[in-house]
Amino acid sequence: MIASIVLAVLIPCLFVYCYKNAYKRPDKFPPGPPSLPVYGAFWIVLFYEFSNLALAFKKIGEKYKTKIIGLYMGPVRTVVLNDPADIKDMLNRDEFDGRVDIIVGRLRSYWKRLGIFFTDGYFWHVQRRFSLRYLRDYGFGRRDDTLESAIECEIKEMLDMRLSGPKFPAEKDLVNGELVYLPHFFAVPFINGLLQVLVRSTFPRSEYHKLWDLSRGVLLFQRSSNDMGGALSLTPWLKDIMPNYSGYNGLVKGHQYLLDFFHNIVSEAIATHDPTYDRHFLDMYIRKMKEEEKLIGRSTYSVDQLVLICSDYMFPTATAVEAVLMFLTERILLQPEIQDKIHEEIDRVVGRNRLPKLDDRRNMPYTEACIREMMRFETLVPLGVPHRATVDAKIGDYIIPEGTMVNPNLMMMNMDKDIWGDPENFRPERFIVNGQLNVALDKSLPFGAGKRLCAGETYARQAMFQVFAGFMQAFHISTADGRPLKEPAPRIQGIITTIPEFWLRVVPR
């Protein structure tokens, strides 16, 4: 009897509490869906689109007639920006340069806040400034003949794997007669190119299998981040209850490839370090670390931080740039006329007797425009890497409280009809005026903006041109079975968007 009375009182009280909590929000906070128990409005977001959160926020914005959405994703107060002007404004303001402290960031950095991607404040400022300042000395962020030559050598090896056939056992996993396996077939020039920047050396072809293992590991990590819709970030305790289903085990296993890979490289650099001579970027960092420890007894520089800096720069190198070229080859299969135009331009500008060089970019507007259009058409990171308001700030008519997670919906920017006219069409010509590439027409932000701009933008753009132009110069591509491709592959959402790996038929021209 007493238990029945208690329940009769508690249940209505619980209902009232949940109802009030569902609509509780700070003053002048943007409108958005109510919060439900445990996951807040995340339940509603998943209801709109389980596998595409950027599209879900587009629909929610339409539902609430707002381009600035405010909601609670679990316990995390969140704002999503759907308007291109608001997105650019936020990305270029210092008060939104913070990062959210989430489990994905912690588990990849020895359960500390290390690296560049997921850190902020003074630590981030010092580490980012040092790395960018001295990586430029080795070709990162600028034109560098040594780096261009190193990537060209790797492209020749990539092409030879198909033209002459596999030389080492691991190559048989990526080359089978006329077929090559994407995206990993593209991986080595990008990975070895970055290693040329970091340590002034590359892995020989006999050891390419280590680079492919790294590429597979990073791909596993980024895809595992979206298991169960990304619920692990909101409820970290899922790692203890369902480590496989929540994606936790995949995250740990995938990123361990990166940590082990660079721990070995950094350990070797420390063991052979000569304080009187800098061989490469790692030497410069190690020297700075030891100098600070000697002068003040402590330092923001550390061995673990060096491993994470290298990992942060390698992560997009081992996945994102390959994903762009993978999407581009799929688009060529869907629109075969693109291949004819690329081949005509390469033959006219470069010919067949040498590989395309960076100097050729200005004379190959269509090839370059294809890469740019691909990064617009397929938004690689639809909601960007989450930002955090470091102080109370205003966007439009709304107040964004300190600590709020802020996501730019870059998909909305890339598919805005007011900007692009026909965003649903893949049309590289939109960037070409009077036969010349006009970069001012490219309003997309695939590398972000402001102080959080991806430091590898210049490297990525240059390397993608070299690899893609060299690949298309050598081959005519088609589907593995020779049939026309009728529709795109399903998209896999993770830290970046990818498609399932596939075999591609490549025939020498």
What are the tens digits of pLDDT across the range 307-366?
999 999 999 999 999 999 999 999 999 999 999 999 999 999 999 999 999 999 999 999
Query: Could you tell me what percent of the chain has a pLDDT over 90?
Result: 75
The pLDDT value given to residue 1: 61
The pLDDT value given to residue 22: 67
Q: Which amino acid is at 72?
A: Y
Is a pLDDT exceeding 80 seen at residue 227? no
Is a pLDDT exceeding 70 seen at residue 136? yes
Instruction: Kindly report which listed range (192-196, 247-251, 298-302, 398-402) carries the lowest average pLDDT score.
Output: 298-302
Residue 454 marked ligand-binding = yes
The pLDDT value given to residue 38: 82
2: confidence class by pLDDT, cuts 50, 70, 90: low
- Using an 8 Å Cβ cutoff, are 285 and 273 in contact? no
For residues 124-150, average pLDDT: 91
Q: How far apart are CA 365 and CA 383, in angstroms?
A: 29
Mapped onto helix, strand or coil, the DSSP state of residue 110 is coil
Is a pLDDT exceeding 60 seen at residue 9? no
HEC profile of 191-219: HHHHHHHHHCCCCCHHHHHHHHHHHHHHH
Is a pLDDT exceeding 70 seen at residue 289? yes
18: confidence class by pLDDT, cuts 50, 70, 90: low
345: buried, middle or exposed (CB in 10 Å: 19+, 13-18, 0-12)? buried
Whole-model pTM above 0.95? no
Which tens digits make up the pLDDT trace of 59-72?
999 999 999 999 99
**Rounded to the nearest 5 degrees, what angle is found at the Cα of 405, between the Cα atoms of 400 and 411?**
100
Query: Nearest CA to 385 among 405, 358, 412?
Result: 405
> Whole-number mean pLDDT of the chain?
92
| Residue 64: Cβ within 10 Å count | 16
For residues 457-485, average pLDDT: 96
The pLDDT value given to residue 110: 87
Q: Are strands 179-182 and 502-508 parallel, antiparallel or unpaired?
A: antiparallel
User: What CATH number does the domain located at 13-83+383-414 have?
Assistant: 3.30.43
User: Hey, CA dihedral for 359, 364, 368, 369, is it positive or negative?
Assistant: positive
For residues 412-440, average pLDDT: 96
Same fold, 13-83+383-414 and 114-379+415-508: no
Is a pLDDT exceeding 90 seen at residue 186? yes
The secondary element (H helix, E strand) that includes residue 126 is: helix 121-135
108: confidence class by pLDDT, cuts 50, 70, 90: confident
Mapped onto helix, strand or coil, the DSSP state of residue 371 is helix
- Using an 8 Å Cβ cutoff, are 80 and 407 in contact? yes
Q: Are strands 175-176 and 393-395 parallel, antiparallel or unpaired?
A: unpaired
Indicate the CATH number of 114-379+415-508 among 1.10.630.10, 2.60.120.620, 3.40.50.2000, 1.10.357.10.
Answer: 1.10.630.10
| Residue 388: Cβ within 10 Å count | 19
Instruction: Kindly report which listed range (16-30, 116-130, 280-294) carries the lowest average pLDDT score.
Output: 16-30
| Residue 74: Cβ within 10 Å count | 16
The pLDDT value given to residue 4: 63
439: confidence class by pLDDT, cuts 50, 70, 90: very high
- Using an 8 Å Cβ cutoff, are 391 and 95 in contact? yes
Q: How far apart are CA 234 and CA 225, in angstroms?
A: 12
Residue with tokens 């993608």: 464
497 or 299: which leads in pLDDT: 497
CA distances from 392 to 26, 95, 275, 404 (A): 11, 8, 45, 9
231: confidence class by pLDDT, cuts 50, 70, 90: confident
Is a pLDDT exceeding 80 seen at residue 427? yes
Is a pLDDT exceeding 90 seen at residue 5? no
Give percent helix, percent strand, percent coil of the chain, each to the nearest 5. 55, 10, 35
Q: Can the peptide bond before residue 84 be classed as cis, meaning omega within 30 degrees of 0? A: no
Q: Which amino acid is at 146?
A: T
**Rounded to the nearest 5 degrees, what angle is found at the Cα of 11, between the Cα atoms of 8 and 14?**
145
- Using an 8 Å Cβ cutoff, are 125 and 97 in contact? no
- Using an 8 Å Cβ cutoff, are 355 and 155 in contact? yes
Query: Could you tell me what percent of the chain has a pLDDT over 70?
Result: 94
Q: How far apart are CA 130 and CA 132, in angstroms?
A: 6
The secondary element (H helix, E strand) that includes residue 336 is: none
Instruction: Kindly report which listed range (214-228, 357-371, 438-452) carries the lowest average pLDDT score.
Output: 214-228
Question: Using N-to-C axis directions, what is the helix angle for 187-199 and 248-271, rounded to 10°?
Answer: 40
Q: List, in sequence order, the alpha helices (H) in 359-416.
A: 365-377, 410-414
The pLDDT value given to residue 21: 61
The pLDDT value given to residue 342: 98
Give domain limits for the chain: 13-83+383-414, 114-379+415-508
